Amino acid sequence: MSEKAKSKKRFSSLKLLKKSETQYPSSPKNAKLEVFENIYSSRDYEITFDCPEFTSLCPVTGQPDFGHITIKYIPDRYCVESKSLKIYLFSFREHNTFHEEAVNTILDAVVKACSPRHAEVKGEFRPRGGIAINVKAVYEKKGTKKDE
């Protein structure tokens, strides 16, 4: 099989990256994280996504909340495709959620999508009412070196 054919097959499941027009889901439940095969799955390396412009809505007041989301993970067989992650994070803009729930929801989505060896999501949210909230959620795959 040619290199071009191998590449085409490897990325055949990536639908969002191929689209020229982007449609933004109204909720994280309607968004999908896409993944691609990790060709370096025999080694541990860390991937970091930095989203300094995260927004969501307060579930009680409906007021906008602004935060900085950082996602770090050690991939196993799959890596998260960045455009799908951008669209997924954008889906929180009209979504009512507490900061703690947003961070844990994002971590759950990353784990479900790519089953990493290790993952952590940090949310640093801007003060509202004089209080800033920082949340960190961590996932450790059972049977990995860090878990043993």
Report, as residue numbers or ranges, the catalytic residues: 58, 65
Query: In the chain, which ranges are continuous DSSP H helix?
Result: 3-10, 82-90, 99-114
User: How is residue 63 written in tokens?
Assistant: 């007021």
User: How is residue 29 written in tokens?
Assistant: 């439940």
* CA 1 from centre of chain: 33
The 10 Å Cβ neighbour count of residue 90 is 18
